[in-house]
Amino acid sequence: MNLGLAGRKAIVCASSRGLGRGCAMALAAEGVDVVINGRDAAHLDMVAADIRAATGATVIAVAGDVATRDGQDALLAACPAPDILVNNNAGPPFRDFRELDRDKMLAGVIGNFVTPIELIQRVIDGMVARQFGRIVNITSSSVKAPIGGLDLSSGARAGLTAFLKGVSQSVVAHNVTINNLLPGSFDTDRLKSGNRRTAEQRGVSLEAIEAERRAAIPARRFGSPEEFGAACAFLCSAQASYITGQNLLIDGGAFPGAF
């Protein structure tokens, strides 16, 4: 399917690794000019070169922390009028809620609630004026099924979901959509680090923990960043203009509910 995205411009936040990189690669493969972002400039440059080589797309690397004003300014200087914004940022680490002091809670809310809203504020009016915009927020399956120890991440991202529902309804008549992708267990560095931590805590092998987690997923495997990126690209497509304010759960069937 031709997604009708050739020549569009996208900002993909936190895209040097994992799901963000998968989204950037998928958009570039559709002919989108992509601005990628990460904190490690050297690694980011290597990723940009890899995406260019694989897709032939224009890829601009912008190093910086997207949660800061300077980081956001740098992204928008590189792409002042994006057609597509993919919001992504690392979630707060696994931690018992009793360990969360005010500073930790504020940092989590800034990273996973305030930051995406700030970026949307800065790009949405231009999208409305141009009569095309696609905003995709990478949240988490924990928005639907909160996970103990990731309470701050779940809360901040659930808040973002509710905040943006009304916003999505206010701009869809202008061909601007806002949707959320909710990943379950994907084969990323974050998943691997969590599995290693669990293995150390329980005194078992990493392979045993990975096998246990795969067995709990009806698909019997972890998702790949490539298939996640393909879902993102579709939500950004011309064909997805009637989809907005939705939460697409991608978890291999792990969520037990029907709705």
As given in the structure block, the two tokens for residue 27 are 């958009």
Residue 50 · residue 26 · CB < 8 Å: no
Structural domains in the chain (count)? 2
pLDDT one-digit tens code per residue, 3-60: 999 999 999 999 999 999 999 999 999 999 999 999 999 999 999 999 999 999 999 9
Residues 198 and 95 in one domain: no
CA 22 to the chain's CA centroid = 10
Residues 212, 106: one domain?
no
Residue at 42 is within a domain:
yes
Confirm whether 137 is domain-assigned: yes
Kindly write down the DSSP assignment for every residue of 179-201, as one continuous string.
Answer: EEEEE-SBSSHHHHHHHHHHHHH
Instruction: Mark whether 152 and 210 lie in a shared domain.
Output: no
List CB contacts of 178: < 8 A, sequence separation 6 or more. 120, 135, 136, 137, 164, 167, 168, 171, 244, 245
Residues 19, 68, single domain; the answer is yes
SS3 35: strand
Are residues 45 and 151 located together in one domain of the fold?
yes
* Same domain, residue pair 144 and 202: no
pLDDT per residue as tens digits for the range 196-243: 988 998 999 999 999 999 999 999 999 999 999 999 999 999 999 999
Residues present in the chain in total? 259
Same domain, residue pair 135 and 104: yes
What pLDDT is recorded for position 92? 87
Residues 193 and 82 occupy one common structural domain: no
Inter-residue contact 173 to 132 (CB < 8 Å):
no
CA-atom Rg of the chain in angstroms: 18
pLDDT digits (tens, 9 = 90+) for 151-173: 999 999 999 999 999 999 999 99
Is residue 1 included in any domain, yes or no?
A: no
4 within some domain: no
Is residue 259 included in any domain, yes or no?
no
Q: Does residue 196 sit in the same domain as residue 105?
A: no
**Do 105 and 179 share a structural domain?**
yes
User: What is the per-residue pLDDT across 99-122, written as a single tens digit (0 to 9) for each?
Assistant: 999 999 999 999 999 999 999 999
Our CA angle for 197, 195, 153, nearest 5°, is: 85
218 and 190 in a single domain? The answer is yes
Q: What is the model's pTM?
A: 0.95
Range of the domain at 214: 186-222
The CATH number of the domain holding residue 86 is: 3.40.50.720
Same domain for 106 and 62, yes or no, is yes
